[in-house]
Amino acid sequence: METELTSALICRRYLLSNCTRTVHIVAHIAPGVFERTPGFSWFRDPYNEKFLNLTIKYADVIGLMIFGHHHTDTFHLVKVSLNNFQVD
Protein backbone atom coordinates (compact mmCIF):
# COMPACT_ATOMS: atom_id res chain seq x y z
CA MET A 1 0.00 0.00 0.00
CA GLU A 2 2.79 2.43 0.81
CA THR A 3 4.26 1.96 -2.69
CA GLU A 4 1.01 3.09 -4.32
CA LEU A 5 0.67 6.03 -1.94
CA THR A 6 4.25 7.14 -2.62
CA SER A 7 3.71 6.90 -6.39
CA ALA A 8 0.58 9.02 -6.17
CA LEU A 9 2.39 11.59 -4.03
CA ILE A 10 5.25 11.84 -6.56
CA CYS A 11 2.75 12.27 -9.41
CA ARG A 12 1.01 15.07 -7.56
CA ARG A 13 4.26 16.87 -6.71
CA TYR A 14 5.74 16.73 -10.20
CA LEU A 15 2.51 16.73 -12.23
CA LEU A 16 3.62 13.70 -14.20
CA SER A 17 1.34 12.60 -17.00
CA ASN A 18 -0.31 9.20 -17.19
CA CYS A 19 -0.11 8.31 -13.50
CA THR A 20 -2.38 7.99 -10.49
CA ARG A 21 -2.71 11.15 -8.43
CA THR A 22 -5.40 9.94 -6.04
CA VAL A 23 -5.61 6.67 -4.13
CA HIS A 24 -8.86 5.25 -2.72
CA ILE A 25 -8.51 2.71 0.08
CA VAL A 26 -11.21 0.04 0.34
CA ALA A 27 -10.82 -2.63 3.02
CA HIS A 28 -12.85 -4.88 5.24
CA ILE A 29 -11.50 -3.93 8.68
CA ALA A 30 -11.30 -0.29 9.78
CA PRO A 31 -8.56 1.17 11.97
CA GLY A 32 -9.33 2.71 15.33
CA VAL A 33 -11.85 1.59 17.92
CA PHE A 34 -15.40 0.37 17.45
CA GLU A 35 -17.69 2.96 19.01
CA ARG A 36 -20.20 0.34 20.21
CA THR A 37 -17.49 -1.40 22.25
CA PRO A 38 -15.27 1.29 23.81
CA GLY A 39 -11.60 0.40 23.88
CA PHE A 40 -11.97 -2.48 21.40
CA SER A 41 -9.98 -2.44 18.18
CA TRP A 42 -9.77 -5.08 15.46
CA PHE A 43 -6.22 -3.97 14.60
CA ARG A 44 -3.49 -4.74 17.10
CA ASP A 45 -1.97 -1.52 18.42
CA PRO A 46 1.26 -1.53 16.33
CA TYR A 47 -0.68 -2.17 13.09
CA ASN A 48 -3.32 0.41 13.95
CA GLU A 49 -0.65 3.02 14.62
CA LYS A 50 1.24 2.18 11.41
CA PHE A 51 -1.93 2.38 9.30
CA LEU A 52 -2.99 5.69 10.86
CA ASN A 53 0.52 7.12 10.38
CA LEU A 54 0.34 6.16 6.68
CA THR A 55 -3.02 7.93 6.32
CA ILE A 56 -1.58 11.06 7.92
CA LYS A 57 1.64 10.95 5.88
CA TYR A 58 -0.20 10.49 2.58
CA ALA A 59 -3.34 12.51 3.35
CA ASP A 60 -2.79 14.68 0.25
CA VAL A 61 -3.24 11.73 -2.12
CA ILE A 62 -5.92 9.67 -0.33
CA GLY A 63 -9.29 10.47 -1.87
CA LEU A 64 -11.42 8.32 0.41
CA MET A 65 -11.32 5.28 2.64
CA ILE A 66 -14.22 2.83 2.88
CA PHE A 67 -14.46 -0.03 5.38
CA GLY A 68 -17.29 -2.47 5.99
CA HIS A 69 -16.76 -4.91 8.85
CA HIS A 70 -19.06 -3.33 11.43
CA HIS A 71 -22.24 -3.31 9.31
CA THR A 72 -23.19 0.03 10.83
CA ASP A 73 -23.37 3.60 9.60
CA THR A 74 -20.42 5.34 11.16
CA PHE A 75 -18.00 8.15 10.44
CA HIS A 76 -14.41 8.27 11.66
CA LEU A 77 -12.15 11.28 11.43
CA VAL A 78 -8.38 10.83 11.34
CA LYS A 79 -6.58 13.93 12.55
CA VAL A 80 -3.08 14.85 13.55
CA SER A 81 -2.30 15.80 17.11
CA LEU A 82 0.34 18.48 16.58
CA ASN A 83 1.79 17.83 20.03
CA ASN A 84 2.35 14.17 19.21
CA PHE A 85 2.99 14.23 15.44
CA GLN A 86 5.34 11.47 14.40
CA VAL A 87 5.45 9.66 11.06
CA ASP A 88 7.90 6.86 10.37
Global confidence as pTM: 0.65
* Residue percentage of the chain with pLDDT more than 70: 80
> How many angstroms separate the CA atoms of 24 and 40, rounded?
26
**Can you name the residues that pair with 67 across neighbouring β-strands?**
27
- What is the per-residue pLDDT for 84? 56
| pLDDT tens sequence across 43-59 | 888 888 888 888 888 88
> How many angstroms separate the CA atoms of 31 and 68, rounded?
11
pLDDT at 86 over 80: no
The domain spans of the chain are 2-84
| pLDDT tens sequence across 11-33 | 766 665 666 678 888 888 888 87
Q: In 10 A of CB 57, how many CB atoms?
A: 17
Sign of CA dihedral 23, 1, 57, 13: negative
